[in-house]
Amino acid sequence: MRIHIGCELVFQLPYPTPILMLLNVHPTREADLEVKDTIVTEPAVPMERFDDMFGNRCTRLVAPAGRFAITVDGVIRDGGDWDAVDEAAAQHPIEDLPTDTLGFLLASRFCESDDLSNEAWRLFGGTEPGWKRVKAIVDFVHRHIAFDYQDASVSRTAAIAYAEGRGVCRDYAHLAVAFCRAMNFPARYCTGYISDIGLEPPFGPGDFAAWIEVYLGGRWHMFDPRNNAPRKGRILMAYGRDAADVSLTHTFGSSWLDGFRVWTDEIPEAAPAVAAVPVPEPAV
């Protein structure tokens, strides 16, 4: 399956502003790109690419004052399978976990697993360890939080989302991550493209999505507390401890988001690839 992916973000900036972006697919998916997901800006500015501590592909630049548009456009190949389910995946004793998973057991800025520990054990201590316990957590979070785009908050933590029972996809992910860590599952916050391919219309406007990955049975498994149903065409862009690590754009100064579009459209196999706008490679 071929998917045309991309986004457009338009900012209004009162003065020159440094911007840090995580708008490319994760390096683990770069080999699947048929047309590179190139970042283009209007006006054009120098850009620098680097990988962060989690291996996410990052880009930095300084945007001039006024209108500043960022566009990403590419084509990626995907297996076209629904999200995998592995109910036999077992939980690891902490002493047997790989060292690189241990940081995802700890509380973080938006995931106060220490504060939620007693509540997590009260809610899920009687469930079967392993996949079924994680699924019980995800099912609970999906039911507990009422989704509302108008209720997004950049400062809402997992504990606040639990108390308020409302939020957006990042709040679902934060609460599920916090509960999983409280139950001794390494869990990380993920962001990327999620498509409507294979679903029945009507479809909502395109958007990025947040989900989680939990370490079970020797590998990371995907769970989606917001949708809580298998999807096709899920494309990872970045992962970290919580949303603070993987903000898709971070402006270091005042800014107003004046326009926002995301697309994930299936391309028929016989159709030519969609050509991204050609631009020079960013400086490394």
Domain ranges of the chain: 2-79+246-267, 94-232
How many of the other CB atoms lie within 10 Å of CB of 259? 11
Q: Over the chain (284 residues), what is each successive 10-residue block's mean pLDDT?
A: 96 97 97 97 98 97 98 96 95 97 98 98 97 98 93 92 96 98 98 92 85 98 96 96 96 95 90 52 41
Helix (H, G, I), strand (E, B) or coil at 111: strand
Omega within 30 of 0 (cis) for the link into 202: yes
Instruction: Identify the pLDDT of residue 137.
Output: 98
Give the length of the chain. 284
Instruction: Tokens for 93, please give them.
Output: 């004793």
Distance of alpha carbon 58 from alpha carbon 257, whole angstroms: 20
Q: Note the pLDDT tens digit of each residue in 65-78.
A: 999 999 999 999 99
Measured distance CA(107)–CA(116) in Å, rounded: 10
Q: How far is CA 55 from CA 26, 246, 282, in A?
A: 8, 11, 18
The CATH code of domain 94-232 reads 3.10.620.30
How high is the pLDDT of residue 192? 97
Question: Can you give the pTM of this predicted structure?
Answer: 0.92
The pLDDT value recorded for residue 268 is 86
At 173-183, the pLDDT tens digits run 999 999 999 99
Spacing of C-alpha 161 from chain mean position: 18
Out of 3.40.50.360, 2.60.40.2250, 2.60.40.3500, 3.40.309.10, select the CATH number for domain 2-79+246-267.
2.60.40.2250
Question: Comparing C-alpha atoms, which of 115, 153, 158 is closest to residue 140?
Answer: 158
Give the number of other Cβ atoms within 10 Å of residue 22's Cβ.
22
